[in-house]
Structure 1
């Protein structure tokens, strides 16, 4: 999931917006930075979420088994789809978040405000609403990207000849040939539900940003760094159970005769039936450890490129 473009926008309602091409180029670099730091954590997270409980004893065991059986490159399985997808997702998120914030500011919040000095600002929950709408919008790209990524990440065979999919392109072709566009978008509802929790991400980003600006002497980049990292932690604390269910759906067989989960509720109930409430938090440690550094590094890359353009 990409977050840097949104973070740059959420810092201030009054800053002039960057040219579209700058946001796209910066998004490429931020995507590379986030992928380099965060993808190994994501691979471990997905494997813990989707494997039998007896397969791995925990996050460290999953890391060691992956490296021992598949080499270090095994941690980067499925990396190409999100890398390519994030370039488009950042661009779409940047534009849609800007539009939603402007619409909310001008048509929802400004008419209600008696304080003209505050009429052009959004409250924290306004940022949250805009973030949710932008999350639903970007799901149209994120769903197939994350679907392909998830299926590649759960291929455990070290020998490429024994894998079902040779790579992201082969995986995409096979799914499309057998199941069409609907197959590629398997898990769209789960993806949109997961991104509904962007509300907590961008509302808390605004809260943290204002706090650091008003109560510390941190520079603006430092404020972005800390606010972005902390708000990412809040997002995962609120959204993680829905991500577990999403991954189970996306790695479910696509053949109707073999499919385990007909609806989102079926997958959620299966997680509970197999492992109780703990099942909704399986793989949380690598995800939580990933959230802060991945988003912080991506934000630094994004801001650096934006300043150089």
Structure 2
């Protein structure tokens, strides 16, 4: 979600007078934001993950994937794997935004920007703060996304007609739910198995440099419209800046996301992608040994249209939920993802 619009000479959210009370209210606002992200974005996310991780030819595209899920597993299965992010996103958002705020303040002190200096933190330092926040946030998000991916990729107990074989088979779920998924992961790989994909998650989330650098860049462009007939209100400017930054984030991050999701959704008992290199090569060689570089790159952008469609409404809705919750609690507005 995009950060809240700031004044010209501000580098980050001002420190509230009542730190403890505001922190609690910020957590509640983060919970509202996280639940909204899940409610709006989860159906898009499960389709994206299925397209990225399923064998070639399983789905003809996003609509075919949606149709197969609805037919075989029911529409409610579009929210499969939603409980881990629903539970964990409030804490994860607090880590992301808290660390982003800290990095911004640190960079402001180092380079002499901020309140009282008459100088605004430049876009490249906003991007650097976003990179640091994304890497820090990976410590929280790795186990959450691991559980989400494994639950999203399993097929609900259902009956499937097997063409040419004239019979119906029952496909059983590998995990009964998030707790069972955790137990099996820990039993098979140890507690650190929940953080097995931390390196690739850090690579993926380092792209928050694009998100927060992009947000600041677009805010500055919209500020140039002040005094003209194209001037935008602060709310519209925040909405558009956050949505556009999210689109560029996914364009930059999707290759790492594809590799990450393959590793996260991999079998606990017969893993195919034990390392980043093997997972990367599985995507790179998916179109065959004689495929052109362009066709190879296309494999890393499976689910791109879904990711881009998801990014704008999900971030806009989550921002609205966060600001509404903070307003109802009478809390000072802060930045949000």
The verdict on a shared fold, with TM-score over 0.5 as the criterion, is yes
Structure 1 counterpart of 2:67: 64
Structure 1 counterpart of 2:77: 74
| Shift of residue 262, structure 1, vs aligned partner | 3.3
Q: What SS class does the counterpart of residue 201 from structure 1 fall into?
A: helix
Unpaired segments of 5 or more residues in structure 1?
none
Structure 1 counterpart of 2:118: 117
Match 2:235 to one of 206, 218, 221: 221
Write the deviation string for residues 108-167 of structure 1: whole angstroms up to 9, x where unpaired. Answer: x218x9x9421xx31101111101111111111100000000000001234498101011
Q: Could you tell me the TM-score, scaled by structure 1's length?
A: 0.91
Matching of residues 157-306 of structure 1 within 5 Å: 157-159=156-158, 162-215=172-225, 216-255=230-269, 258-275=270-287, 276-306=296-326
Structure 2 Cα separation of the partners of residues 17 and 269 of structure 1: 47
Structure 2 Cα separation of the partners of residues 84 and 167 of structure 1: 14
CA 1:184/1:15 → structure 2, altered by over 3 Å: closer, same or farther? closer
Larger mean CA deviation between 259-268 and 33-42 belongs to 259-268
CA 1:96/1:34 → structure 2, altered by over 3 Å: closer, same or farther? same
Structure 1 counterpart of 2:51: 48
Match 1:8 to one of 4, 8, 11: 4
Q: Could you tell me the TM-score, scaled by structure 2's length?
A: 0.84
Write the deviation string for residues 209-261 of structure 1: whole angstroms up to 9, x where unpaired. Answer: 12223314322222111110000001001111110010111112234xx3222
CA 1:213/1:305 → structure 2, altered by over 3 Å: closer, same or farther? farther
Structure 2 Cα separation of the partners of residues 17 and 307 of structure 1: 17
Matching of residues 88-103 of structure 1 within 5 Å: 88-103=91-106
Runs of 4+ in 1 over 4 A off after TM superposition: 9-12
Task: Calculate the aligned-residue CA RMSD, in Å.
Answer: 2.0
Q: What SS class does the counterpart of residue 220 from structure 2 fall into?
A: helix
Write the deviation string for residues 39-67 of structure 1: whole angstroms up to 9, x where unpaired. Answer: 00000000000001211111000001001
Contact 1:69 1:158 in 2 (8 A): no
Contact 2:12 2:105 in 1 (8 A): no
1:139 aligns with 2:138: yes
Greater fraction helix: 1
CA 1:10/1:199 → structure 2, altered by over 3 Å: closer, same or farther? farther
Count of residue correspondences: 298
Which entry has the higher C-alpha Rg, 1 or 2? 2
Structure 2 Cα separation of the partners of residues 278 and 270 of structure 1: 13
Larger mean CA deviation between 259-268 and 187-196 belongs to 259-268
Structure 2 counterpart of 1:85: 88
Contact 1:50 1:247 in 2 (8 A): yes
Contact 1:10 1:202 in 2 (8 A): no
Unpaired segments of 5 or more residues in structure 2?
17-21, 159-169, 288-295, 330-337
Contact 1:10 1:206 in 2 (8 A): no
Structure 1 Cα separation of the partners of residues 56 and 197 of structure 2: 23
